[in-house]
């Protein structure tokens, strides 16, 4: 049984369709990413999953339960970190965790969480005095204080500096290894690539792709762009003749070769036969970034 | 990792919430200054004027200080119930504190309950402090103690219901503060803070009787003088509790 099951979800506010038709499933122990540009319908989807909003149409099940009907029961089982959710300025770190622990039947140990999240040195600090990264880590801690089976994390690292972001990523990987299923909403490719087992790309309220990060990237072409400076003049036609190569260009002393996944091997073999060495060799692979841009930036036909 | 046998969760959460909110209140000196400090200092300043402590025949034998007692208590009540209660609740909604709570097993109305309990506790403590000081140090009397308690509780409840209505209709902290400030001036005007009720023209006094400050103040004043105020003062207060309470319940949004 999937941990989260969303099928044909639709939600509109007035005449604005926030979520048009979204379906996906999240299996136990997975980190599942929801990716998409701002206003794509990610947050509304998450709000329907966490029971904060009632869907207009479609089915949402979390651990086999209905987030609307079984709100209280799911409250025990699902930890939620909401985008832009703050705490009162004058609450101390340990007080916030202690308070939220009192909401659950089987809370985690607040002290353990504080240490695990690297907040031990700030346990007496007021919320208002925390840095952005510390606030975010406290927010994650509050999502985990109830010992949840599922954690829903919305725009976890938005507004964090690169160091703080990496810290939070390590933390998420750690949480998953403790057996928690994670639904992660993000608009950072790198984040999805680093953490997610599978991602759904949402654009204009619809799922436009649902795959592993690697699978999505190879869909964007799986092509390689190779750039190097040959140690001796090289006849470009020899490169063009290789079946793996699609295009050859020149940039000053550098050659720019585009080809499929095996292009690099073929070029290196050719160079070796010719006794030429490739200096300043650089290979670029299509990434999730390319896939994302290809999937979301072109205006699509709506049917 | 797991703490077994815990008491019933709603009770435990409410206790913890009330305790945490109390601690945070202690870290917000402005609230204590306006709700407790100024009314108590005002009473002491008034009490130090010898003439204010003497019974006045024109006032039915009570002192000037005693006629001011309801106004001082109302000042504290209005500050607490109509200004700080809604400001806190609106900021909690604005910051997503209530929304976040609704993803936990505990409903955000528990936080509302904790806030109301805390405000009530502060209001009662301040009133007790003011009454003890007025009676022990400045010769005031509470002639009808039961009437005083009923009048105080109904006034506090009416103003709190009004405060909850403000929290329900204001969506930003700024709006709540502005509405609270206007209500403070209106309520305290009709309670007689700037023009004593006795010197108000009949029209103003009639309007005053229909405000929670005016009706509550009269009910409290009568009780200090040893009599129950006419029933319609209590009816006005009950009306505010019913109407504002029902509207606040209907209009309040958690997010």
User: A59-83, pLDDT tens digit by residue?
Assistant: 999 999 999 999 888 999 999 998 8
Cβ of B97 and A85 within 8 Å? yes
Mutate to test the interface with A, among B19, B93, B105 (most CBs of A within 10 A): B105
Looking at chain B, which residue has its C-alpha nearest residue A80?
Answer: B103
Residue A263: pLDDT band (50, 70, 90) is confident
The token pair at A183 is 């639904």
Identify the CA nearest to A121 among candidates A162, A93, A97.
A93
Quote the minimal CA–CA distance from B246 to chain A in Å: 24
The span from the CA of A30 to the CA of B216, in Å, is: 61
Cβ of B1 and A90 within 8 Å? no
Of residues A219 and B153, the one with the higher pLDDT is B153
Number of C-beta neighbours around residue A132 at 10 A: 13
Asked if residue B3 has pLDDT above 60, the reply is no
Number of C-beta neighbours around residue A42 at 10 A: 26
Looking at chain A, which residue has its C-alpha nearest residue B108?
Answer: A103
Residues from chain B contacting residue A102 (CB–CB below 8 Å): 9, 12-13, 15-17
The token pair at A19 is 């979520």
Residue B4: pLDDT band (50, 70, 90) is very low
Would you call B102 helix, strand, or coil by DSSP? coil
Number of Cβ pairs < 8 A linking chain A and chain B? 79
Give pTM, 2 decimals: 0.82
CB A99 within 8 A of CB B15: no
Report how far apart, in Å, the C-alpha atoms of A24 and of each of A66, B5, B8 are: 16, 38, 37
Strands B55-56 vs A245-251: parallel, antiparallel or unpaired: unpaired
Residue B163: pLDDT band (50, 70, 90) is very high
Q: Is the ipTM of this complex over 0.90?
A: no
The span from the CA of A229 to the CA of A98, in Å, is: 61
The span from the CA of A4 to the CA of A62, in Å, is: 5
- Rounded to 5 degrees, φ, ψ at A93 are -55, -50
Asked if residue B1 has pLDDT above 80, the reply is no
Q: Is the dihedral of CA B119, B121, B127, B130 positive or negative?
A: negative
Cβ of A112 and B103 within 8 Å? no
CB A10 within 8 A of CB A55: yes
The token pair at B78 is 């209005």
Residues composing chain A = 303
Taking 3-state DSSP, the helix, strand and coil percentages for chain A, each rounded to the nearest 5, stand at 35, 30, 35
Would you call A60 helix, strand, or coil by DSSP? strand
Task: Give the model confidence (pLDDT) of B37-56 as tens digits.
Answer: 999 999 999 999 888 888 88
């Amino acid at each position: 049984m999937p941990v989260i099951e969303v099928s044909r979800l639709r939600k509109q506010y007035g005449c604005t369709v926030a979520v048009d038709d979204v379906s996906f499933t999240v299996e136990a122990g997975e980190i599942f990413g929801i990716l998409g540009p701002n206003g794509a319908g990610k947050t509304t989807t998450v709000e329907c999953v966490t029971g904060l909003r009632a869907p207009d149409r479609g089915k949402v099940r979390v651990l086999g339960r209905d987030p609307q009907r079984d709100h209280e029961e799911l409250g025990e089982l699902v930890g939620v970190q909401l985008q832009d959710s703050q705490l009162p300025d004058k609450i101390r770190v340990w007080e916030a965790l202690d308070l939220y622990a009192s909401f659950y039947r089987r809370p985690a140990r607040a002290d353990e969480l504080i240490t695990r999240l690297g907040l031990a040195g700030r346990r007496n600090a007021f919320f208002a005095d925390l840095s952005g990264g510390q606030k975010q880590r406290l927010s994650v801690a509050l999502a985990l204080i109830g010992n949840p089976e599922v954690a829903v994390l919305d725009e976890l690292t938005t507004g964090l500096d690169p160091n703080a972001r990496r810290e939070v990523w390590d933390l998420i990987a750690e949480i998953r290894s403790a057996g928690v299923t994670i639904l992660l909403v993000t608009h950072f490719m790198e984040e999805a690539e680093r953490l997610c087992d599978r991602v759904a790309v949402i654009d204009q309220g619809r799922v436009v792709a649902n795959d592993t990060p690697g699978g999505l990237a190879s869909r964007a072409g799986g092509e390689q762009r190779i750039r190097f400076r040959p140690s001796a003049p090289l006849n470009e036609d020899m490169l063009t003749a290789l079946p793996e190569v699609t295009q050859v260009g020149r940039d000053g002393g550098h050659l720019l070769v585009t080809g499929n996944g095996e292009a690099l091997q073929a070029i290196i073999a050719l160079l070796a036969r010719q006794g030429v060495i490739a200096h300043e060799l650089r290979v670029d692979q299509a990434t999730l970034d390319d896939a994302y841009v290809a999937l979301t930036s072109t205006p699509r036909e709506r049917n | 990792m797991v703490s077994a046998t815990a008491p019933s969760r709603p009770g435990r959460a409410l206790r913890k919430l009330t305790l945490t909110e109390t601690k945070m209140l202690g870290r917000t000196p402005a609230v204590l200054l306006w709700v407790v400090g100024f009314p108590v200092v005002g009473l002491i300043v008034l009490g130090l004027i010898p003439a204010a402590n003497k019974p006045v025949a024109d006032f039915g034998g009570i002192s000037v200080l005693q006629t001011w007692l309801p106004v001082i208590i109302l000042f504290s009540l209005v500050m607490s119930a109509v200004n700080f209660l809604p400001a806190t609740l609106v900021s909690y909604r604005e910051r997503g504190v209530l929304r976040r709570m609704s993803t936990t097993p505990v409903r955000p109305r528990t936080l509302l309950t904790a806030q109301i309990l805390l405000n009530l506790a502060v209001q009662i403590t301040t009133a007790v402090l003011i009454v003890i000081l007025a009676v022990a140090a400045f010769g005031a009397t509470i002639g009808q103690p039961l009437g005083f308690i009923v009048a105080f509780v109904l006034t506090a409840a009416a103003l709190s219901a009004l405060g909850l209505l403000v929290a329900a209709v204001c969506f930003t902290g700024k709006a709540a503060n502005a509405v609270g400030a206007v209500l403070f001036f209106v309520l305290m005007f009709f309670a007689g803070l700037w023009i004593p009720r006795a010197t108000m023209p009949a029209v103003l006094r009639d309007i005053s009787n229909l405000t929670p400050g005016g009706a509550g103040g009269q009910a409290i004043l009568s009780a200090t003088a040893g009599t129950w105020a006419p029933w319609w003062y209590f009816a006005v207060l009950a009306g505010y509790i019913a109407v504002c309470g029902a509207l606040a319940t209907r209009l309040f949004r958690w997010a």
